[in-house]
Structure 1
């Protein structure tokens, strides 16, 4: 048995655990015990654990290294915006706190203490949950790399979230908003917000469409990509889900508005001496496509000219759904138009906007009186 007594009176357990799959070098595990009996128990436990094929915690990677490995996975298998989001969360909220952590010794209580620390910092429950989800994935990476054999984050529950009331504009409110736009100097913005309101497209989808994606004959917009900026670089990616690839029908007035903008856009490109063709992005007005922030900020600016309350750019998508529900459209039609993965998603997000069916049922019972 590979147990020997040291000069200090303690016992050392030394076992072989095979060869390194990458270097081919032999790997060994050593442990120290206070007595021979304890050393025998340690040897037995390690041998049994190895023979059962369980993870031997032989790697000692620090938090920074694990994060680098995790972020590399995000870059390889996720969209650029996901990688950037995770990088931001790690640098801002985790790096300093876990810089010197010993993965093997982190307990569930340690993770709960960190969660409480985030809560005390004034972050919303939703933000805390997002950080905790990312932290769990970092620890999952440590698990995958054989640094730990259990993820302490798994035992920590998410915080409850109070759903805020969804904001949207009614058709009259949207008309009021559009009336505040200076059509001569802000025709781009009028076109953009009108397309967003009457199609329900996501910001990235709107920015990504080229003129070749608009079928004038069928009056459809072909949605199959999304655009985003990261570190001042443009990324064209697939939409949010496979169901987001879709064709959205538009009415003749919206098509007419788009074609009017196209003429204006071509004139702008000619003045800038830029090539103009069907590969140009629909809402482009200079050499490169604009960022979504430009359209977000302008909403607030326009609203200050009147009494209409400002909403987020994404709320134009919610406004489109409210408009469809007001027109009596069903869940299936709305799901298809928005590009949701399932009707359940549509119901979960927008179900509260539909008329109360209980009232309709109760009214029918009047016939029995």
Structure 2
């Protein structure tokens, strides 16, 4: 019996709701309320919450089988780094939780329970949202394979993310940073960080540069690829988006600095008996190109020599935008240099850095008095 009246006039609601489709454990919610009306409403709520559909075209695929189909699709159509990232998320956060699940019986409330489970682990909201996106993609495959009719992740809202304050270095702060670099021992790092600061290029784009990509006559850098390491293997791909394929004009002093490093690189390669050509990566100093971690760690090391607060390597891209805004460059120019897909992206990310013109507008209204 789902509702039972107690001697003190309260009511116990005890509903048999089958098994949990994820853990396969028996599910039997119980709760004590004060009135029969409350008990009947609660009983109805439980029955609605755990109602299941039972007829599907292909209900036999397991979660593991579906995630394998999804990963195969990632490898076929996505970048290698993306497939690797998705596999990591699945292995670390999804597989153990869903491995026993009965896919056709999972509903929205089960997904919300999983989201709460992630919250309880202490992960950041951004990380949880990324995990939930991967889960939704896997259930999209389940829909395509006729295992389910509707994705249970649909309409499960993302967690709100508090926007972190964007960090960047002003020109004076960047000059202070350069002054802390040992030019004799760290000349490569000076060239790398200067190029990042004055071009706004992404880390992978910088690491992928060959000398052929630097046009010294037109004073331009041709950005058309990105470099990453996956399981210690170098992977060269196209940049983040199609709009990321671009040509960036550079100033004469940066070009001269790059050419000076090229000569030093040739001497270094000769010392280590490594063949040098225009196909060599610009920021390479041994047989293989360096990883981004080397440049990330060195920022902290250099800053520790003075009183400058370190920033992330990617914040040099933000610093470039702040520099352009300081020079009163318009949105369109900034969009082209950064390789954004649309000017909306540029405004959404960097709009708050532009000077507020409301005071200027308000002052003009004095002319009407």
2: distance between equivalents of 1:308 and 1:173? 7
CA displacement 1:228-270 (0-9 Å, x = unmatched): 0000111110011111110000010000000010011111111
Give the drift of 1:81.
1.1
2: distance between equivalents of 1:334 and 1:308? 27
Give the drift of 1:61.
1.1
1: distance between equivalents of 2:311 and 2:367? 43
For residue 335 of structure 1, give the secondary structure of its aligned residue in structure 2.
Answer: helix
Aligned to 1:275: 275
* Residue correspondence of structure 1 range 255-334 to structure 2 within 5 A: 255-334=255-334
Structural RMSD (CA): 1.0
Aligned to 1:28: none
For residue 140 of structure 1, give the secondary structure of its aligned residue in structure 2.
Answer: helix
Query: Which portions of structure 1, spanning 4 or more consecutive aligned residues, are displaced by more than 6 angstroms?
Result: none
Aligned to 2:41: none
Aligned to 2:146: 146
CA displacement 1:329-348 (0-9 Å, x = unmatched): 00000001110000001000
1: distance between equivalents of 2:164 and 2:58? 47
Give the drift of 1:107.
1.3
Question: Are positions 1:97 and 2:104 aligned together?
Answer: no
* Residue correspondence of structure 1 range 218-237 to structure 2 within 5 A: 218-237=218-237
Give the drift of 1:102.
0.8
2: distance between equivalents of 1:58 and 1:218? 60
| TM-score, L = length of structure 2 | 0.84
2: distance between equivalents of 1:359 and 1:118? 45
Aligned to 2:48: none
Question: Are positions 1:195 and 2:195 aligned together?
Answer: yes
Give the drift of 1:271.
1.0
* Residue correspondence of structure 1 range 1-369 to structure 2 within 5 A: 56-369=56-369
Q: Which runs of 5+ in 1 are unaligned?
A: 1-54
Give the drift of 1:326.
0.3
Preserved contact between residue 56 and residue 104 of structure 2 (Cα < 8 Å): no
2: distance between equivalents of 1:89 and 1:219? 42
CA displacement 1:109-165 (0-9 Å, x = unmatched): 110011011111111111111100110001111111111111100120111111111
| TM-score, L = length of structure 1 | 0.84
Q: Which runs of 5+ in 2 are unaligned?
A: 1-54
For residue 97 of structure 1, give the secondary structure of its aligned residue in structure 2.
Answer: helix
2: distance between equivalents of 1:58 and 1:154? 20
CA displacement 1:92-117 (0-9 Å, x = unmatched): 11110011111011111110011011
1: distance between equivalents of 2:185 and 2:84? 34
